Amino acid sequence: EAGVVQSPRYKIIEKKQPVAFWCNPISGHNTLYWYLQNLGQGPELLIRYENEEAVDDSQLPKDRFSAERLKGVDSTLKIQPAELGDSAVYLCASSPGLAATDTQYFGPGTRLTVL
Amino acid sequence: DQQVKQNSPSLSVQEGRISILNCDYTNSMFDYFLWYKKYPAEGPTFLISISSIKDKNEDGRFTVFLNKSAKHLSLHIVPSQPGDSAVYFCAASEAGAGSYQLTFGKGTKLSVIP
């Protein structure tokens, strides 16, 4: 079974530029998560989708961050414009979504560097 | 304010010995706890979990202990192997309230020395 796929794996941009990350969850997983992981920290939830619906986006900085999950499968996370402090690893995870105790399976992440 | 704390940034253990990784939490509403393992350039991988109705859960070489009164859990790895060298994250959630949100600690880097 294929795991969670993310691309690109690495991205270097200059500040004020836009950037987008793509995630393909495990087939059949209804719930998709985007996490932010700063250096030396644990992952922090940005947004959670159940199918196409963003059911928890309370921690997403909506002035510059946006996300979508069209057709309830792939998802894109966008930052516009990027700031120096956005340098981090952006992780996507998915779970079957049937219960809160369902295991969350993480992708390898996208490491963003903002210069 | 960190709700999940892993106070040891790193731990070194000899191969074959026991590794004990510790985690403390402050939110008494947490009722589901997990450990994830992370290798460099990879995403976290689920290792083991425990519900608050239990005080121990075992899976092969990995055992998680939960002390609710102390708000403390630990992960025991016996025997430790070089392939166990990774960063281990403790996470918690209010699953009983239907929350899917995991709150992670900062991680402990385990080095198993051959």
**How does pLDDT run across B68-109, given as a tens digit for each residue?**
999 999 999 999 999 999 999 999 999 888 888 899 999 999
Q: Given the structure tokens 């909506």, which residue do they identify?
A: A62
Q: What's the CA gap between A28 and A96, in Å, rounded?
A: 7
Q: pLDDT of A53-72, one tens digit each?
A: 998 888 999 999 999 998 88
pLDDT at B1 over 80: no
C-alpha B61 chain-centroid distance: 14
CA distances from A49 to A33, A40, B100, B101 (A): 6, 26, 11, 12
Structural tokens at position B22: 């510790």
Q: Write down the pLDDT at residue A1.
A: 67
Number of helices (H) and strands (E) in chain A: give both, helices first: 0, 11
- Across the interface, of A41, A45, A100, the residue whose CB is closest to B95 is A100
B41 touches chain A (CB under 8 A): yes
Work out the percent of chain A whose per-residue pLDDT is above 90: 83
C-alpha to C-alpha distance for A102 and B2, rounded to whole angstroms? 24
Residue of A nearest to B50 (CA): A101
pLDDT confidence of A100, banded at 50, 70, 90?
confident
Query: Is B93's Cβ below 8 Å from some Cβ in A?
Result: yes
